[in-house]
């Protein structure tokens, strides 16, 4: 499972609607392997966490970009929003939650 973050900005500083995650899920196509979408506010931006069950990280990132592009272009709660970036959050060292 791969987690890809998509950073979004509203056209007028508005808040992301509560049903935005479900709307984004509906934009996924068969074969893109989107499993779940979470939403988080991060200052002036909003972050979508897209979880993919793809074979590679590169495939997950491509799929996330496509899903987000469709969600931003479709009539709905994200129409007119801007995609600021889309990619996996990488860490520079092994992560040990117990360390």
Of the chain, the percentage scoring pLDDT greater than 70 comes to 92
pTM of the complete model: 0.85
Architecture of domain 2-88: 2-Layer Sandwich (3.30)
The three-state secondary structure class of 28 is coil
The three-state secondary structure class of 26 is helix
pLDDT classification of 93: cutoffs 50, 70, 90: low
Domains of the chain, residue spans: 2-88
Q: Which residue has the higher pLDDT, 91 or 57?
A: 57
Which residues, including other chains, have CB under 8 Å from residue 89's CB and lie 6 or more apart?
Answer: 3, 5
Which pLDDT belongs to residue 42? 77
How many C-beta atoms surround the C-beta of residue 50 within 10 A?
A: 28
User: Does residue 91 surpass a pLDDT of 70?
Assistant: no
pLDDT classification of 97: cutoffs 50, 70, 90: low
């Amino acid at each position: 499972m791969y987690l890809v973050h998509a950073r979004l900005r509203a056209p007028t500083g508005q808040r992301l609607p509560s049903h935005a995650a479900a709307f984004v899920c509906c934009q996924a196509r068969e074969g893109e392997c989107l499993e779940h979408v979470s939403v988080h506010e991060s200052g002036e931006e909003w972050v979508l966490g897209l979880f993919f069950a793809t074979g590679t990280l590169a495939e997950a990132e491509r799929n996330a970009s496509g899903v987000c592009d469709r969600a931003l272009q479709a009539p709905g709660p994200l129409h007119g929003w801007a995609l600021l970036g889309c990619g996996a959050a990488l860490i520079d060292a092994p992560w040990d939650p117990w360390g």
